[in-house]
Amino acid sequence: MKLSTFKKGLHPEDYKYFSQDKAIETLALPDDVYIPLQQHIGVPCEPLVQKGDKVKTGQIIANTGAFVSAPVHSSITGVVMDIEKYYHPLGMRATMIHIKREGDEEWELLEKIEDWKWAPKEKLIQTIRNAGIVGLGGATFPTHVKLSPPDDKAIDSFILNGVECEPYLTSDDRLMIEQADKILEGMAIMMRILDVQKGYIGIENNKPRAIAQMQKRVVELGYPFKVVPLKVKYPQGAEKMLIYSVLKRHVPANKLPMDVGVVVNNVATAYAISEAIKEAKPLVQRVITVTGDGVNEPKNLMARLGTPFKNLFEACGGVKDDVHLIFMGGPMMGMTQYHLESPVVKGSSGIVAVTGDMVEEVSTFPCIRCGACVHTCPMNLMPLRLSKFSQAKEVTKLEEFGVMSCIECGSCSFICPANIPLVQWIKVGKIRVREAATKKAKEKA
């Protein structure tokens, strides 16, 4: 059977064997957590607690009135030590609430919803917002925003993203194997909110157990969902690629999936929604894969948000001596970490430590115009030209060649035989286009 997929793309070695057989373990509660005020795309939160306050697990400690935002909860029971700038896994220093664990765990739960099938939609959306749920695949876009499309957008399909196309990561895979029921229920809740009939679950074919388990539970529980096995190809987990793979619809440039009647959400998000609606538990923990050949015992851990990465590595038997590179997320789009005090945030799907054997020191050659980047780019762009325009600061050319469509998947840099940092230059190009636009707007004003 020919599996459906999108055009172009590539298949990097997936290295999922380190952790794909490891059941999810719950990490012991950390002594200190560092909770960033912003863990989502949108308006940052304002702290609601002060130094010295006692907080319970699940208590909202930072919030904002803005729509495109999500509150932040304390992930342990303890005392607020300070609100200072600490190392953020995205590379900068950001304001975080430092909480020290004290006493026994006490929960502050959300408002209980008796039966989600009959509860008003507004209430469900409000509960999801109060639970602080954002897209847990890594993009961290607030989920309640995705679930409230404007009235003029008719949504007819819902896709659950279980693709996990990044190498190394296995957290979604394990979650689907172990928590299929909760994921399916979370999906049903979202589809009820959106009033959508057609539900698809996209899973790449290198996760046969997850496909089998989801398929089995869909049939047993009588959900009208379709499990769609997909050909293994990166970057299939990107929204636009997944929509094309499953439904063969093109999301137009600069438009959102809802413009073609689709909403996509990650399996981890569905799990979090089920927890929030059924158990009234806000988002205080997530599954994170600790893996790589530099970790002694790779594991999939259920960790509280704000746990320093150091604790995760300690729970996995430490790292090897010759660790060369540590990054959060997958190797194609992840952020390198230079400080292991950085905490787990809502978007951390994995933390990977690799040794020198895996990272080759490469030298850069001149572009030989082999066209490999053009033949690989899933968005059908010309990375070699975009990177040249970006270096030359040619903003109009950048826009003409569709730089803003770039999803920054890194396929071009991966495939380039000359090792040219293509996607890196394209990212710079995007910043240049945005800067030029703001400058223009200022001049007009």
Partner 1 sequence: MTELKTPPEEVKEKKIELAPENNIQQAEAEKPKPKPDPRKKLFKSDRMTIVAPAPHNRGRNSVPRIMYTVIATLLPAVIISILLFGNKAMVTIMVAIFSAMVAEYACNKIMKTGLTVDDGSAILTGLLLALTLPPSFPIAGTALGAVVAIVFGKQVFGGLGNNIFNPALLGRAFLQASFPVKITTWTLPAFAASDAVTGATPLGLFKFGHMTEVATNLKPLLLGNVGGCIGETSAIALLIGGIILVALKYADWRIPLSYIGTVLVFSGALWLIDPSVYPNPVFMLLSGGLILGAFYMATDMVTSPVTPKGTWIYGIGMGVVLVVIRIWGGLPEGVMYSILFMNGLVPLLNRWTRPKYFGEIQKENKV
Q: Binding to partner 1 (CB under 8 A): which residues in 45-84?
A: 51-52, 79, 81-82, 84
Token couple for 375: 């033949």
**Binders in 85-124 for partner 1, by CB under 8 A:** 98
**Binders in 380-399 for partner 1, by CB under 8 A:** 380-382, 384-385
- Closest C-alpha to 427, from 373, 400, 375, 391: 391
Q: Reduce the DSSP state of residue 107 to 3 states and report it.
A: strand
Token couple for 304: 């509280």
Q: Does 439 sit near partner 1 (CB under 8 A)?
A: no
| Of positions 253, 392, 431, 437, contacts partner 1 by CB under 8 A | 253
Q: Does 226 sit near partner 1 (CB under 8 A)?
A: no
Nearest distance from C-beta of residue 20 to partner 1, angstroms: 18
Q: Does 336 sit near partner 1 (CB under 8 A)?
A: yes
Q: Does 341 sit near partner 1 (CB under 8 A)?
A: yes
Amino acid sitting at position 403: V
The residue among 369 and 393 lying less far from partner 1, judged by its C-beta, is 369
| Of positions 45, 60, 184, 423, contacts partner 1 by CB under 8 A | 423
Q: How far does Cα 365 stand from its chain's mean position? A: 33
Total number of residues that touch partner 1 (CB under 8 A): 86
Nearest distance from C-beta of residue 240 to partner 1, angstroms: 7
> What φ, ψ does residue 4 adopt, rounded to 5°?
-80, 150
- Helix axis angle, 267-278 to 121-130, nearest 10°: 110
Q: Does 340 sit near partner 1 (CB under 8 A)?
A: yes
Q: Does 44 sit near partner 1 (CB under 8 A)?
A: no
Nearest distance from C-beta of residue 163 to partner 1, angstroms: 17
- Beta carbons within 8 Å of 438's beta carbon, 6+ residues apart: none
Token couple for 393: 């600061």
| Of positions 132, 401, 426, 429, contacts partner 1 by CB under 8 A | 401
Alpha carbons 212 and 195: distance in angstroms, whole number: 27
**Binders in 126-155 for partner 1, by CB under 8 A:** 154
Nearest distance from C-beta of residue 28 to partner 1, angstroms: 13
Q: Does 319 sit near partner 1 (CB under 8 A)?
A: yes
CA dihedral 50, 38, 71, 270 (to 10 degrees): -140
| Of positions 68, 371, 393, 437, contacts partner 1 by CB under 8 A | 371
**Binders in 150-209 for partner 1, by CB under 8 A:** 154, 156, 167
Token couple for 133: 């749920």
| Of positions 121, 192, 278, 310, contacts partner 1 by CB under 8 A | 310
Nearest distance from C-beta of residue 324 to partner 1, angstroms: 6
**Binders in 270-309 for partner 1, by CB under 8 A:** none
Sheet holding 350-355, edge to edge: 24-26, 299-304, 285-291, 350-355, 323-328, 335-336
- Beta carbons within 8 Å of 94's beta carbon, 6+ residues apart: 36, 37, 38, 85, 86, 88
| Of positions 123, 369, 393, 440, contacts partner 1 by CB under 8 A | 369
The residue among 28 and 221 lying less far from partner 1, judged by its C-beta, is 28
Burial status of residue 8 (CB atoms within 10 A of its CB: 0-12, 13-18, 19 or more)? middle
Q: Does 250 sit near partner 1 (CB under 8 A)?
A: yes
Alpha carbons 125 and 143: distance in angstroms, whole number: 9
User: Which listed range, 56-64, 104-112, 196-204, 401-409, lies at the site for partner 1 (CB under 8 A)?
Assistant: 401-409
